[in-house]
């Protein structure tokens, strides 16, 4: 079978049209939007005690902001500060105390407190050692684990123990609150000081003994953008969102207090 020049041109035109249609389909999500458009990716450095609630908050934020992906990196606030100082690539920072954030003024935007928290005594499930209050932690027969004093929860813990003149000899000092919680939950310690929200997230492993307000400390959680962010506008949007009613409901449902 032979083709005329006109036939060949017609065939080429048909093939070209088909190719263009295919390419257009590949670049569209069916609603006329360009699915190949780059997404905004945010990296947020956050205190360990925010691990559970930020999983929920991150999903809610991504749903409300299509095209934005939020990745969290959790650690003790002092570790996060060291990462920022070393130039770790990130867009925003949320610590469990204002002191750590204040020490990073040269690297951050203006911080905003998004939540507050209090301490409780975490014990093994069922409180087998019958811990009733802070003074019980001084019992030499009780294995107590605390966060290291440079960690916010460790500093808060030292503050309230010193105020009550209670001398505790911990069997270990951990790098973050989740490590304290883990030791108690695994039965490697009888008790430890953690945030109320951490104990609430592990009710299948630990019990919580409340500390009276007059003996307790209030932890504040400031959030700020990082000046080194390559997504300054998106980072600012995320930090601002943390103070919105939607985000505040998520935080308070998890046991955090109002800012």
Q: How do residues 249-259 score in pLDDT, each as one tens digit?
A: 999 999 999 99
Give me the percent of the chain exceeding a pLDDT of 70.
85
pLDDT tens, position by position, 114-170: 999 999 999 999 999 999 999 999 999 999 999 999 999 999 999 999 999 999 999
In angstroms, what CA-CA distances link 101 with 226, 252, 259?
Answer: 11, 22, 16
What was the pLDDT predicted at 37?
46
The pLDDT, as a whole number, for residue 232 is 96
Distances (CA, A) of 180 to 5, 12, 121, 124, 255: 81, 70, 11, 12, 19
Statement: residue 80 has pLDDT above 50 = yes
- Work out the end-to-end distance of the chain between its first and last CA atoms, rounded to an integer number of angstroms: 81
* Domain 40-116+220-253 and domain 117-218 have a common topology: yes
- Arithmetic mean of pLDDT over the chain: 89
Q: How far apart are CA 36 and CA 102, in angstroms?
A: 40
Work out the average pLDDT over 80-96.
Answer: 97
Cα Rg, the chain, nearest whole Å: 26
Q: What is the CATH architecture assignment of 40-116+220-253?
A: 3-Layer(aba) Sandwich (3.40)
Q: Specify the pLDDT at position 26.
A: 43
CB 226 within 8 A of CB 236: no
- What is the tens place of the pLDDT at every residue in 19-51? 344 434 444 444 444 454 448 999 999 999 999
Give me the architecture of the 117-218 domain, per CATH.
3-Layer(aba) Sandwich (3.40)
Q: Output the pLDDT for position 19.
A: 36
Burial 124-139 (b: 16+ CB within 10 A, else e): beebeeebeebebbee
Domain locations along the chain:
40-116+220-253, 117-218
């Amino acid at each position: 079978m032979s083709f005329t020049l006109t036939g060949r041109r017609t065939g080429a035109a048909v093939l070209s049209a088909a190719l263009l249609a295919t390419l257009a389909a590949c670049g569209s999500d069916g609603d006329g939007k360009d699915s190949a458009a780059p997404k905004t990716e945010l990296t947020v450095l956050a205190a360990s005690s925010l691990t559970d609630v930020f999983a929920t908050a991150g999903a809610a934020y991504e749903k409300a902001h299509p095209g934005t992906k939020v990745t969290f990196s959790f650690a003790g606030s002092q570790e996060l500060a060291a990462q920022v100082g070393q130039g770790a690539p990130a867009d925003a920072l949320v610590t469990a105390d204002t002191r750590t954030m204040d020490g990073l003024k040269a690297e951050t935007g203006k911080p905003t407190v998004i939540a507050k928290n209090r301490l409780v005594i975490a014990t093994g499930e069922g409180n087998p050692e019958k811990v009733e209050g802070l003074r019980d932690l001084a019992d030499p027969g009780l294995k107590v684990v605390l966060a290291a004093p440079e960690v916010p929860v460790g500093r808060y813990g030292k503050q309230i123990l010193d105020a009550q003149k209670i001398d505790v000899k911990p069997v270990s000092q951990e790098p973050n609150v989740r490590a304290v919680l883990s030791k108690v939950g695994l039965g490697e310690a009888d008790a430890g000081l953690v945030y109320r929200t951490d104990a609430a997230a592990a009710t299948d492993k630990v019990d919580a003994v409340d500390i009276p307000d007059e003996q307790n400390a209030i932890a504040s959680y400031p959030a700020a953008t990082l000046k080194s962010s390559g997504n300054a506008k998106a980072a600012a949007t995320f930090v601002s969102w943390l103070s919105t009613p939607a985000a505040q409901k998520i935080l308070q449902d998890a046991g955090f207090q109002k800012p």
